[in-house]
Chain A
């Protein structure tokens, strides 16, 4: 890989040095990394490792209560420096450890929306066994219009193709029934638009509406919804999964027979655990900006940060933002100003 990834290290629960260890692992893939954070903590970890540069940026707004205000009022903050480096072309993609709000604010203000995009979106690959499902949007926007949701579908599909290794992703729309008539007026309108715009696509297949239960059954590669529903869905999936896993652990310790059964199951459960490891997909992806951003969870270890950096570089190498623009243009789904539309219509006669 030939890309440079700018990385904000300051929001990691295990500290900036843990992110630096992840950068060392990523650099072994040939990725150049610029690490932003307290140099005193980062430099000792990366000393002597080729391809890693440390930028001393100890000011963190990762936990700011008002991320947008913090980004505007703290130009020296590590995340702002990261976003500015990307905007200036000093890096091709960025990773922000554990700070979704500031990453979105800095991305919007400094990296900026890609041309023709209505709204950036957050995509999260859910580690569903057998077939990961990427849910878009998981919370960048509280409200989304049908033309926004259509763009989310294209962005999620491009992510699946260029970063997640799915050749011809199947895209679905989250609703309360499989029939095209099911859902809110916006969901029904989005279904109609997606069916029209993806009818002839050779890159993407629209498989219609799916219900909440289908999400974890791996019925599609990408599932589209608005950020409000997507965020609630994500938290519900996480909550149920944590509760069930906790109860299984408790049950396995109740008596010697259960403990023995747990021991016998351990190898198989280990493989299952690896498959559903949230660190595997690298975190949430910020789509719709002029460069790809990845936001690994703050509690990730170095392995998760490595994955985030590797996948950010893969998105840059695969020209993800160009792929999105080209696909949207071909489908006639780019955002256009009324003035530009009128000019184009006049030119077309």
Chain B
């Protein structure tokens, strides 16, 4: 999975959950300050990534995430190996 594909998954999920236009969400968009995402939103995003894509994010790294770009980078770092 490429970074663009991960970004698409994350942005689509956030757009659906928070009822904003996915096209308005960029890497620089702040999860809490701009999107109003709370800890429950981030927990549910993590659960969907685990259920649908088999990606497990360490909690101690997930709590450091500030922007959508941070979240995408975190997911990319933890993509399951395809080899």
Contacts and interface: CB of A to CB of B under 8 A. Distances in A.
A336 interface: yes
A113 interface: yes
Nearest to A72: B47
Contacts of B67: none
Interface centre among B18, B29, B43 (most CB of A within 10 A): B18
Q: What range describes how many residues of B lie at the interface?
A: 10 to 19
B44 A113 contact: yes
A338 B33 contact: yes
Contact of A112 (B25, B38, B44): B44
B35 A343 contact: no
Contact of A337 (B34, B43, B47, B50): B34
Nearest to B31: A337
Contact of A336 (B19, B21, B33, B44): B19
A339 B35 contact: yes
Nearest to A116: B19
A338 B44 contact: no
Contact of B44 (A108, A115, A337, A343): A108
A338 B20 CA distance: 10
Contacts of A112: 44
Given A112-B44, A113-B40, A337 B35 contact: yes
Contacts of B33: 338
Interface in A300-349: 335-340, 343
Interface in B16-51: 17-21, 24-25, 29, 33-38, 40, 43-44, 47, 50
Contacts of B29: 339
A112 B62 CA distance: 20
Interface string A89-116: 0000000000000000000111011011
A119 to B, nearest CB: 8
B17 A343 contact: no
A338 B25 CA distance: 12
Contacts of B34: 337-339
Interface of B: 17-21, 24-25, 29, 33-38, 40, 43-44, 47, 50
Interface of A: 72, 108-110, 112-113, 115-116, 118-119, 335-340, 343
